[in-house]
Amino acid sequence: MNEDDSDCDNEDGSDSYVLNPHDKQLLAAAQSLLVKVARAPSLHPAQLVSVAKLQHALARLPHANPDLEVHVSVVGPRHTFDDIETYHYWDVTLECGTLRLASGGHFYRPSSGGDSFTTMTWEAQPGEESDLSDYSANLWMVPDLRTYVDGVASVDFSTGGYSIEVTDSDNALLEEMEDEEEGDEDDESGDEEEATTGRIEFTVTPVDASEAAVAKQINEAEVHSHQPDYAHGATACDFCQCQLNTRGLYVDGMAREGMMWANMCVPCFNVRGAGLGWGKGQLYARQPNGDWRMVAGFRSPDDTPEF
């Protein structure tokens, strides 16, 4: 792991960024985002190491840091506006001297489906003027669109629903963290599990009686008859706003009223959900590493396509 780990191929050039007042405003926002990330209760100590590297690099501006490759992304909670559901992300990336900030998100409406969007990208290289692309004028359909600065100011990890992603090829602790989270069924190599076993075990751990009752609908053989399918991005129940990572199961499905799709904790699903099944709802079980695996509501061969 400790051979020449830096993949950066740097030419000898200028070692300082050329920053205008607006650049400095964006970078100040990026710094405040990293301060919040560093204090976030969900941040793993292994991730903090890489966040601190980025903080160090930003603190040294306008001097360039040519050898770091660190990416930090914050994904915000989902918000609904009538039938529209959105969430936003904010990125800070340093890649071999190139500094990048970006924001964007995802927009979903039952009538038109989902789409991801980019709100802004900003990039700076040492010795050159920065490059800013602002797409907000085209994003009139996004009800809670904000500038990078305002969006970062709105980030509040104490309200929950956020997720943090940190990548840093020079941080071996991140790999250890992921290995631990993946659990260790076998200790040899991590990347053989899909190729050779063909069957990835899953767990169902109900946290209350309502979940235990719904769990009875799970057919283990049926789960194994499908390719493992995982849900991404769901953090809170759309109805009661409870944090799904405190639950053992949740349903991504249609609500009885309004025909809207929603993420539902099991108690809310029992009151408002239309049921489990293809075109109605999928049940996901939280795995020990935090992944959500589909365990019921599969498409069966005699289901007609709904879409």
Residues binding Zn ion (CB under 5 A): 237, 239-240, 265, 268
**CB closer to Zn ion, 62 vs 160:** 160
**CB closer to Zn ion, 51 vs 237:** 237
**CB closer to Zn ion, 213 vs 240:** 240
Q: Is 126 exposed, middle or buried (0-12, 13-18, 19+ CB in 10 A)?
A: buried
Token pair of 10, please?
């740097």
Least separation in angstroms between residue 75's CB and Zn ion is: 20
Angle (CA) 5-10-15 rounded to 5° is 120
Least separation in angstroms between residue 240's CB and Zn ion is: 3
Q: Is 107 exposed, middle or buried (0-12, 13-18, 19+ CB in 10 A)?
A: buried
**CB closer to Zn ion, 202 vs 239:** 239
Strand boundaries in the chain, DSSP class E: 69-75, 79-81, 84-95, 98-109, 113-124, 131-134, 163-168, 230-231, 249-254, 261-265, 281-286, 292-296
Token pair of 191, please?
């990347």
Do residues 155 and 141 lie in contact, with contact meaning Cβ atoms separated by under 8 Å?
no
> For 256-272, b where at least 16 C-beta lie within 10 A, e where not — what string?
eeeebbbbbbbbbbeeb
Least separation in angstroms between residue 202's CB and Zn ion is: 23
**CB closer to Zn ion, 268 vs 296:** 268
**CB closer to Zn ion, 54 vs 251:** 251
Least separation in angstroms between residue 173's CB and Zn ion is: 35
Least separation in angstroms between residue 263's CB and Zn ion is: 9
> For 244-253, b where at least 16 C-beta lie within 10 A, e where not — what string?
bbebbbbbbb
Least separation in angstroms between residue 218's CB and Zn ion is: 20
**CB closer to Zn ion, 46 vs 237:** 237
Do residues 295 and 283 lie in contact, with contact meaning Cβ atoms separated by under 8 Å?
yes
CA distance 298 to 305: 12
Least separation in angstroms between residue 237's CB and Zn ion is: 3
